[in-house]
Amino acid sequence: MINVGDTAPDFELPDAQGEIVRLGDALENGRTIVYFYPADFTPVCTAEACAFRDEYEGLEEIGVQIIGISPQSVDSHERFTERHSIPFPLLADTRKKVIRAYGVDGPFGVGVRRATYLVETDGTVSNRVVSDFFVGSHMELVKETLQD
pLDDT tens track for 63-95:
999 999 999 999 999 999 999 999 999 999 999
pLDDT tens track for 101-135:
999 998 887 889 999 999 999 999 999 999 877 77
Which residues have CB under 8 Å from 58's CB, separation 6+? 146
Break the chain into its structural domains and give their ranges.
12-147
pLDDT score for 134: 74
pLDDT score for 138: 78
Which residue is catalytic, options 21, 27, 33, 45?
45
Q: Which fold has domain 12-147?
A: Glutaredoxin (3.40.30)
DSSP letters along 3-24, please?
-TTSBPPP-EEE-TTS-EEEHH
Is 148's pLDDT higher than 80? no
pLDDT tens track for 8-51:
999 999 999 999 999 999 999 999 999 999 999 999 899 999 99
Active site residue 45: yes
